[in-house]
Structure 1
Amino acid sequence: MLNVIQLLPDSIANQIAAGEVVQRPASVVKELLENSVDAKAKSIQVIIREAGRNLIQIVDDGVGMTETDARMSFERHATSKIRTSDDLFRIRTMGFRGEALASIAAVSQVEMRTRRAEDELGTLIRIEGSDIKAQESISCLPGTNLLIKNLFFNVPARRNFLKSNSVEMRHVLDEFQRVALANPEVAFSLFHNDQEIYNLPAGKLSRRIIDMFGKSYREQLNQCEETTPYVTVRGYIGKPESARKTRNEQYFFVNNRYVKHNYLHHAVIGAYEGTLPEGSHPFYVLFIDIDPSHIDINIHPTKTEIKFDDERSVYAIMMAAVRKAVGVYNLSPSLDFESDVNFLAGGRSAALQPTPITPSWASGGASSATPVSERSSGRTDSLDRAAGRSFDLPRRDAPPKPSVNNWQALYEGVATPKTADTPETSHEGDWLGPGRSNVPMAETAANGGEAITLGSRANQLQLMVEPTDAGGVEGEAILQIQNRYLLAPVRAGMAVIDQRRAYERVLYDQFQAALTKGSGASQQLLFPKTVTLSAVDFQLALDLRQDLTKLGFEFDELGQNTFIIRGVPTLMTGESEEELFANLLAQLRVDTGRLKLDRAESLARSLGKRASARHTTRLSAIERKALVDQLFASTNPSYTPTGEPVIVILSLDKIAGLFR
């Protein structure tokens, strides 16, 4: 029997290793940037063409290499950073496994120029698919200049799996941002197709954050720092009011290496507890400095996941550091024990009444020496007189305002049957709207007061529960609760509808139709608005320009990472156009990365979710009826595009069971 086991050629072994190290152009950018940082470069320039498909060029002013080192750097498992197995537990550099350059050279055409400052001549090496084509001495600047051309030229199957240029460029920008944030003392620049995307001078971390994400971050950065014998936490966090709807700007670095760690993220969110709006995410750039012997960074091919030998301690220290920063900068609400918590006058009368006001039921318009029995017997008269009083001092020419000071008055006349001549006042959908007084107007006027205008409409619910037909209800029968839910009686019992999710389903269908038919209507802005985006979102907007135009957006480029917005979809009017545009792109970037959807589907979902977030307001009866009708006319009224339930039916049996 012939032997079947044999050693793989180096070229094939390098291509296999490249499957782990080089997944896309962004992987090459990451590895080469980390090598330049390890080479103690003070300035690094990145040049990209066609999102890295055709060219990735990294130019640095680091220490450079000798001719022998330049040749050895392309061999598998060649490294200058590890000598013994113990070195694996003392790693503080970025690249160290000696697979990056060998793997990159196996799937691309590489040209490297490098020279040390003390050498007169440098070295030029050309490699194609692990095959060395040339090696010679040349004249070049100190440092290293690496050109990676035609990535995956010899592995067409891998090249076919690359996404569009916009998607690949977003990954490149993500890797560039991570390395640039971790090394603010190094100057970075990035060019794509001869257009400057970033030009980041060396400086402090705060300056790097502002240069990278925009001047708007200047007012929301707050320093976070905590030092212990075990670990040191430092960096910046954002104010709660500047929190965003997406988790794009959140960074952890352990010994200056970017990592993803859900456990530590939970610690940060816990420190913000009670200060963040629902569904919002804070900004943070946090660095953890720890002895390398306490962590394991070689558990993932991309080295973005690490393990701590004592995660609980790191969690507690991280939460304490962020919580301290939140408290020091008064980001969380605090109790003022010096202030008077009594009910004071509002409006203009606050300055006129420096002392607390005695509740009307305590005074009753009578002397404190009045017996309890006498005050009880005259309670109705006292309430009538109190109803005419207000904590707010009215203007002389203003009509008297109804009072809400006397909670007992809410129950006056509740048991009295409604008179036939009582006027009907419509307050659609408002359970706590003004009620109707059963006290005759003449009698009220005679007592020198005004009618009690607060009441409960709970006794009127029986007028709203009869469905008009088998499938729907009238607008009057649809109730709104806390601007969040709609209650509609149906044949089977009662339908509870999530108002925001209902809008999300309806708007999604409308945006889908606009993208399919190109029929999106645009509302022109009287004064065009200017919006400055991150480099990632700017590239995304350029790639989606055609689809955004179909929806109704009209915008033009105004400079680096800046657009001027001239029109927005008519369905999206009523909010800040700049925030709408920026938040939509951020939401779309998250959805695109998390879900494997085509561009139109992802855009419709993101825009529907974004537009529905503001639909948590009071609706009139006509609006409630229209929303329910549109919901049931949609493609799938029971669920949102992301699969969340919109409607819950409470059957009569289930409702009856609640009272057992």
Structure 2
Amino acid sequence: MADKIVLLPDNIANQIAAGEVIQRPASAVKELLENAVDAGATEIKLIIQDAGKALLQVIDNGSGMSETDARMCFERHATSKIRNIDDLFHIRTMGFRGEALASIAAVAQVELKTKREQDESGTYIEVDNSTVRRQEPVAAATGTSIAMKNLFFNVPARRNFLKSNAAEMRHIVDEFTRVAMSFPHILFTLTSNGQQLFHLEAGSLKQRIVQLLGNNYQTKMVTVKEDTDYMNIYGFAGKPETAKKTRGDQYFFVNNRFIKSGYLHHALMSAYQEMIPADSFPMYVLFIDLDPTQVDVNVHPTKQEIKFEDEKIVYAFVQAAVKHALAQYSVTPALDFDLDASIQQLSSIQQPFTDERKSSASSTSLFQGFTQKNQAHLIEKNSEGLRHWKDLYEAPKVPQPIEKEFPEEIPAALHAAPAGIADDAELFQIQNTYIVFPSARGFLLIHQQAAHERILYEQLTKASAASPIAMQQSLFPATLELTPSDAVILEELIPDLRELGYLVEPFGKHTFLIQGSPADLGHGNEKHIVDMLIEQYKHFSSELKFSRREKLIRSLARQQAVKGGTRLTEREMRQLINDLFTCEIANTSPEGNPVFLEFRQEQLEKMFGR
């Protein structure tokens, strides 16, 4: 019987290894940019076509390679960074495993042009499917240009797994941002399909953060800097008011390498405890420097996950450094009492404090006890002034006109609503967030935002399925300036937004004009709505099971819904309830959370031991 085990051909073995390192165009971006940094470049250009599927090119002015090195760099495990096993535990460079170029050459057509400063001519090499097709001398500037064309041309199954161009471009921008953030002293540019998306001049870390994450952080960051013998930490953290509902602006770097660490993120979040809502995420860009022997960077193929020798020390250090920074810059909150907005509506607050009322107040013994010297402790027995202290805070009673508001009819088919709801029931609002709706056998407690989200979600779903939502053009279009990564997202959403009543058009680099919005929506707030819509969309993007249209409808429903803390008139409450109980599914929000809870009389009596 013939033997079964054979050695794989080199090109097949390389393709399998490539799957570890090169999963999508963005993976190659990371590897090539890091190689350029390691080469000592001061200027690095990234050029993209067709979201990296057609072309992905990195040009640097670094040290370049000799003819022999240029040929060797495509071999598996060929590296200039490691000579013996001890070197593996003292890694300061970005790349070191020697598999990036071999992996790229296994799944793409690669053209390399490189030259060292001391050489008269450079070297040109063409490789595809792990085979060198051409090698010759060439005139070139000092540095290296490496172009990767037709990614996965020889692995069609993997090419089919790539997402839309907009989605792949978002991943590329993410990787570019991480490397550019880590090395602010290097000039970086990113050009996509002939349009320059980024031009990042060399400068300070703060300048680089603002260039990448937006001008709104310019005055809203605190400096984090702590040095010890064991480790140093430096960077910036956002003030509590900049915290968002979505992740995205959180960056940890260990020895200048971007890492993902839920453990360190938890340390930082604990520093913000009670300063921001539990479901919000602060912005931070933090660099940790420590001895390479204290950290293992080779526990994951992409090197984004690492292992610390002593995690607890690092955790405590990050937490303490951020806490100290927030305290030092006086951004810790003062005592903040939750003031019910309805208090502002009381007549005692609304009515002017007239001279007549002022005179009446100042003549009481209570007032005099606090204003005369050594009288604050004095309380007169049987004081008439004390008996009427409430009069100070009560407005004079003025007869109010009685306005009868007739209840609108609630449809008989109350989908998923408890039976026995009274049509003419009086409605109450609690904490400007919940609506109490009496029914024949108890009452419903309705969450107004969840109810409105359900209503809007069903309206938008039906409207988009039938025909585009009616749009009203703006006389004065709002201008929206976005960060490059958010601009990529909005560009992707423009066709779907048009179906939902928003006409958005590109207007130069990273700038858009909002030319129209849904006709039945209040106008003047379009800029804020679209801005927040992008945040909500990023939040829903983690749910892979949703289509783009579904994410957008959910985002719009969340953004346009009346928020908790908003005071509603009785007419508005009644309209909300009417609309809710005409929904196909009235008892849950689009996310599956309860819209209302029912409290029955027998339950209430049982709770009170009756």
The TM-score with structure 1 as length reference comes to 0.81
Tell me, in whole angstroms, the C-alpha distance in 2 between the residues paired with 1:33 and 1:156.
26
Structure 2 residue aligned with 1:234: 234
Instruction: Give 2:449's aligned amino acid.
Output: R
> Given that residues 178 and 258 in structure 1 are in contact (C-alpha distance below 8 angstroms), is that contact kept between their aligned partners in structure 2?
yes
Structure 2 residue aligned with 1:77: 77
Deviation at 1:552, TM superposition (A): 1.7
Deviation at 1:512, TM superposition (A): 1.8
> Which of 595, 600, 604 lines up with 1:646 in the alignment?
595
- SS of equivalent to 1:559: coil
Tell me, in whole angstroms, the C-alpha distance in 1 between the residues paired with 2:448 and 2:78.
61
- SS of equivalent to 1:178: helix
- SS of equivalent to 1:486: strand
User: What RMSD in Å do the two structures reach over aligned CA positions?
Assistant: 3.1
- SS of equivalent to 1:544: helix
Structure 2 residue aligned with 1:520: 469
Is 1:374 the counterpart of 2:323? The answer is no
> Which of 624, 634, 644 lines up with 2:573 in the alignment?
624
Deviation at 1:613, TM superposition (A): 6.3
Deviation at 1:528, TM superposition (A): 2.5
> Given that residues 52 and 151 in structure 1 are in contact (C-alpha distance below 8 angstroms), is that contact kept between their aligned partners in structure 2?
yes
Instruction: Give 1:67's aligned amino acid.
Output: E
Deviation at 1:634, TM superposition (A): 1.9
Could you tell me which runs of 5 or more consecutive residues in structure 2 were left unpaired when the two chains were aligned: 337-347, 354-360, 406-416
Number of aligned residue pairs: 575
| TM-superposition CA deviations, 1:304-357 (whole Å, max 9, x none) | 111222222211111111111111211112479xxxxxxxx99998xxxxxxx9
Deviation at 1:66, TM superposition (A): 0.8
Tell me, in whole angstroms, the C-alpha distance in 1 between the residues paired with 2:118 and 2:44.
20
Deviation at 1:12, TM superposition (A): 0.4
Deviation at 1:486, TM superposition (A): 1.9
Is 1:42 the counterpart of 2:42? The answer is yes
Tell me, in whole angstroms, the C-alpha distance in 2 between the residues paired with 1:572 and 1:360.
53
Structure 2 residue aligned with 1:314: 314
Identity %: 45
> Which of 452, 458, 466 lines up with 1:509 in the alignment?
458
Structure 2 residue aligned with 1:461: none
| TM-superposition CA deviations, 1:343-392 (whole Å, max 9, x none) | xx99998xxxxxxx9896846999989996633xx47xx545x45546xx
Structure 2 residue aligned with 1:184: 184
Structure 1 residue aligned with 2:409: none
Is 1:534 the counterpart of 2:542? The answer is no
For CA contacts below 8 A with separation 6 or more, give which structure has more relative contact order: 2
Q: How do 1:209-288 and structure 2 match up within 5 A?
A: 209-277=209-277, 279-288=279-288
Structure 2 residue aligned with 1:2: 2
- SS of equivalent to 1:477: coil
- SS of equivalent to 1:626: helix
Tell me, in whole angstroms, the C-alpha distance in 1 between the residues paired with 2:457 and 2:203.
45
Tell me, in whole angstroms, the C-alpha distance in 2 between the residues paired with 1:358 and 1:293.
74
Structure 2 residue aligned with 1:147: 147
Deviation at 1:31, TM superposition (A): 0.8
| TM-superposition CA deviations, 1:24-64 (whole Å, max 9, x none) | 11111111111111111110001100101100011001111
| Mean CA deviation greater in 204-213 or 475-484 | 475-484
Deviation at 1:401, TM superposition (A): 4.1
| TM-superposition CA deviations, 1:197-220 (whole Å, max 9, x none) | 000011111111122223222121
Structure 1 residue aligned with 2:23: 23
Structure 2 residue aligned with 1:102: 102
Deviation at 1:527, TM superposition (A): 3.3
Tell me, in whole angstroms, the C-alpha distance in 1 between the residues paired with 2:472 and 2:430.
32
> Given that residues 369 and 378 in structure 2 are in contact (C-alpha distance below 8 angstroms), is that contact kept between their aligned partners in structure 1?
no
Instruction: Give 1:542's aligned amino acid.
Output: E
Structure 2 residue aligned with 1:566: 515
| Mean CA deviation greater in 9-18 or 607-616 | 607-616
Deviation at 1:638, TM superposition (A): 2.2
Tell me, in whole angstroms, the C-alpha distance in 1 between the residues paired with 2:456 and 2:379.
64
Tell me, in whole angstroms, the C-alpha distance in 2 between the residues paired with 1:81 and 1:618.
64
When residues 389 and 28 of structure 1 are mapped into structure 2, their CA distance, relative to the original with a 3 A threshold, is: same
Structure 2 residue aligned with 1:158: 158
Instruction: Give 1:168's aligned amino acid.
Output: E
Instruction: Give 1:569's aligned amino acid.
Output: P
Tell me, in whole angstroms, the C-alpha distance in 1 between the residues paired with 2:310 and 2:364.
61
Larger Rg: 1
When residues 134 and 576 of structure 1 are mapped into structure 2, their CA distance, relative to the original with a 3 A threshold, is: same
Tell me, in whole angstroms, the C-alpha distance in 2 between the residues paired with 1:611 and 1:278.
22
> Given that residues 425 and 437 in structure 2 are in contact (C-alpha distance below 8 angstroms), is that contact kept between their aligned partners in structure 1?
no
| Mean CA deviation greater in 25-34 or 205-214 | 205-214
| TM-superposition CA deviations, 1:534-577 (whole Å, max 9, x none) | 11221222222111112121232221101122333356537743
> Which of 549, 552, 557 lines up with 2:506 in the alignment?
557
Tell me, in whole angstroms, the C-alpha distance in 1 between the residues paired with 2:468 and 2:296.
55
The TM-score with structure 2 as length reference comes to 0.87
> Given that residues 245 and 583 in structure 1 are in contact (C-alpha distance below 8 angstroms), is that contact kept between their aligned partners in structure 2?
no
Structure 1 residue aligned with 2:62: 62
Deviation at 1:154, TM superposition (A): 0.7
Tell me, in whole angstroms, the C-alpha distance in 2 between the residues paired with 1:229 and 1:427.
75
| TM-superposition CA deviations, 1:558-601 (whole Å, max 9, x none) | 21101122333356537743232122113213322443321111
Deviation at 1:22, TM superposition (A): 0.9
Structure 2 residue aligned with 1:395: none
Instruction: Give 2:218's aligned amino acid.
Output: R
| Mean CA deviation greater in 502-511 or 68-77 | 502-511
| TM-superposition CA deviations, 1:418-440 (whole Å, max 9, x none) | xxxx9896799xxxxxxxxxxxx
- SS of equivalent to 1:374: coil
Tell me, in whole angstroms, the C-alpha distance in 1 between the residues paired with 2:573 and 2:240.
33
